[in-house]
Structure 1
Amino acid sequence: MPVMKRDVGSDVLQHGQDDFESITVQTSIFGIILISIGLLYTFFGIRFFKITVFLVGFYIGAILAWIVLTNVEPSDGYGNSSGIIYLAVTLVTGLILGSIAVCCSDIAIYLLGALGGYSLALFVLSWSDNGVIQSKNGRIIFIIVLTLLGAILTFVFEDAIIILSTALIGAYSIIFGIDLFAHTGFTESVQEFLDGNHQVVYSVDTKVYLMLAGVLALFIIGTIFQWRVHRGEFGRRRAAKSKTAPSPAYSTPPENITEKKKKGWTLQFKK
């Protein structure tokens, strides 16, 4: 198994080419998408219900597609169309799972917490050469534990976990997208932790530390912004209640409907 040091963004979108440091059309598209949805998630993740839920499925679909493609890739790659294959498959899979997530929004909320835990695991592992945890099995266990913990905590602290998860996922996406253009080596951490088909050397230097610090700074800013401006606006329960039809037990329409706000949720009840 050859030892490689290459940029995972170019690796995803530019397999089979010798120069993994160049910026291609595919890499640019991928980077712009990550930065755009990262900004939305970091600062407005809890604000927009359907978009947030859709992006949960999109993220999960794209991540799973990339993991499968890179781990089953032949030694000679997927040919001259490797970049297009990676881009097309990850985007299409993301769009499909994103659409499914919108239809299963109650489940998607907890998948958001799980994705937040998964992102936290990758972030923590990235602070040392070849990962804070060197053992492959140890990494897998660590990622699984934090992923499950994120989903479980969503049951208890829904608003807080939604804010923390979207801020972290968004911050990670922004910096990842930037590194597809900057090539500091930050993106190589993802391949180091998730690609079992290629042996990658991930080393942390000043540039990578600055990228990690950027993730942390954006996460903190996004969390504070969402907590102060958008907390309580996720609207899952409000949207569900607004779709509830009046009870057939009423022979005449209710005299009036009073709105009452409780903990950020707009509740409607009949007098």
Structure 2
Amino acid sequence: MAGAGPSSVNIAESPPENDVTTPLYTILMGNYTTTRSPVLTNRSVNSCDTIDANYDIPTSVICAMCFVFGIIYTFFGYRFFKAVMFLTGFLFGSVLVYMICLEEKTFTPLINAGISLAAGFLCGLLTMLVQYIGLFMTGFNFGISIATGILIVLEQFYHPETKWIPIGILAGIGVIFALLTLKFQKSGTILGTSLFGGLLMISCIDYFIEQFLLMMYIWERIKADFSPSLCWYSWIILGCWPFCFVVGSVTQWKITGQGFSHKQVLQNRRAETVTVKRSRSKEKPKENPHQSRYRHLYQVRRVNGDVISQNYIQSIQSKLSPSLRNLTPVPTEPQGDPPTEPESTNTTLTQIPEV
């Protein structure tokens, strides 16, 4: 550890001097934690005066995308209601399933990522297509975010002895705010998206500054594990969270969400659907019954090869001998009154008088 800057971790017992290969985090927390995730076990606590710039390209790209999503959440969450509902279900489902797979250590990281993305996509479709599920999930994320802040503050005064304490706090507050969001939909959506969007943005900033040390600290609060104390700039990053929440809520309430209602959008879409169906039904021409009868008569006569008037055929047949008269039967007319003979051969179909 020679040459390292001053660490923010309060060391109760000095580690063995001859053991230079053991990670600092394992030395410090080996007496307190028994089960930790691979991500937490393999991390090392850097000194507070250095910034690790060894970024992973895929993780950096994902963090950049999440930062953009955080901006959309914070400042345009209520305006882009449907898109935010999908992103809420997608992020919640994918992160939850990935953390569960990470804790179980059953599959490889690539398979875990594929499973989490598939689960997130299904959750996103569900929250986007069913409005009340999306609102419930938005309020639940709102409550979990508030509960996370409560756990961070609680850790400064009391450390929970069991995991059920943070789990109960998260589930209870999450359900309460989910029900409140269903009751006050616009207010709950604006506040929930602003708070969750601020959390997304500070998590991305945390990666580029200290390699997710703040996020690991929050995850340890959820699991009720012991962890080293944060650096001074970690608290500055954490302080950006309520700042983004306040600015995003005011922006949505006064600018982006002004004069906009998600209920009105849904009603307009339903009205447009009904209008399109009515217009399609009106486009079908209603045919005059007299024209329909004459058209049917014309088609029958065309099929029989008879376009000459029946009276003309009868007049010719009357001049024939009885033996020839039987060989030339008069074509039968369709049921109903036969139409009268047209005045001239140039008479159109629509000019046939009604009988």
Report the alpha carbon displacement of residue 105 of structure 1 after superposing the two structures with TM: 2.1
Out of 78, 88, 91, the residue aligned to residue 59 of structure 1 is 91
The aligned counterpart of 2:263 is: 236
The aligned counterpart of 2:67 is: 35
Match of 2:267, SS state, is helix
Does residue 45 of structure 1 match 2:72?
no
The aligned counterpart of 2:217 is: 189
CA distance in 1, matches of 2:268, 2:248: 29
Report the alpha carbon displacement of residue 16 of structure 1 after superposing the two structures with TM: 10
Q: Deviations 1:76-130 (Å, cap 9, x if unpaired)?
A: xx5xx53x44544433322221122222122211211111111111122224658
Does residue 123 of structure 1 match 2:163?
no
Out of 232, 235, 247, the residue aligned to residue 221 of structure 1 is 247
Out of 133, 139, 142, the residue aligned to residue 113 of structure 1 is 139
Instruction: Note the residue ranges of structure 1 that are not aligned, 5 or more in a row.
Output: 254-271
The aligned counterpart of 1:207 is: 233
CA distance in 1, matches of 2:268, 2:116: 35
Q: Report sequence identity in percent.
A: 22
One-letter identity of the residue aligned with 1:239:
L
C-alpha spacing 1:236/1:133, structure 2 compared with 1 (3 Å): farther
Does residue 153 of structure 1 match 2:180?
yes
C-alpha spacing 1:148/1:224, structure 2 compared with 1 (3 Å): same
Superposed CA RMSD: 3.4
Report the alpha carbon displacement of residue 163 of structure 1 after superposing the two structures with TM: 0.6
CA distance in 1, matches of 2:114, 2:146: 27
The aligned counterpart of 2:121 is: 95
Residues 42 and 218, structure 1, Cα contact 8 Å, conserved in 2: yes
CA distance in 2, matches of 1:35, 1:100: 24
Report the alpha carbon displacement of residue 18 of structure 1 after superposing the two structures with TM: 5.0
The aligned counterpart of 1:257 is: none
CA distance in 2, matches of 1:181, 1:152: 36
One-letter identity of the residue aligned with 2:104:
V
Report the alpha carbon displacement of residue 33 of structure 1 after superposing the two structures with TM: 2.4
C-alpha spacing 1:16/1:132, structure 2 compared with 1 (3 Å): closer
Match of 1:108, SS state, is helix
Residues 126 and 133, structure 2, Cα contact 8 Å, conserved in 1: no
Q: Deviations 1:193-222 (Å, cap 9, x if unpaired)?
A: 3458xx561523422211111001111100
The aligned counterpart of 1:258 is: none
Structure (1/2) with the larger strand percentage: 1
Q: Deviations 1:5-56 (Å, cap 9, x if unpaired)?
A: 99xxxx99x9599566642123213311221111110000000121011011
Residues 124 and 132, structure 1, Cα contact 8 Å, conserved in 2: no
Match of 1:100, SS state, is helix
The aligned counterpart of 2:200 is: 173
One-letter identity of the residue aligned with 1:160:
S
One-letter identity of the residue aligned with 1:123:
G
Q: Which moved more, 1:15-24 or 1:216-225?
A: 15-24
Q: Deviations 1:122-141 (Å, cap 9, x if unpaired)?
A: 12222465896524222111
For these two proteins, the number of residue pairs brought into alignment is: 236
CA distance in 2, matches of 1:210, 1:114: 26
Higher Rg of the two aligned structures: 2
Match of 1:46, SS state, is coil
CA distance in 2, matches of 1:113, 1:58: 15
C-alpha spacing 1:64/1:19, structure 2 compared with 1 (3 Å): closer
Report the alpha carbon displacement of residue 60 of structure 1 after superposing the two structures with TM: 1.5
The aligned counterpart of 1:26 is: 58
C-alpha spacing 1:87/1:15, structure 2 compared with 1 (3 Å): farther
C-alpha spacing 1:154/1:109, structure 2 compared with 1 (3 Å): same
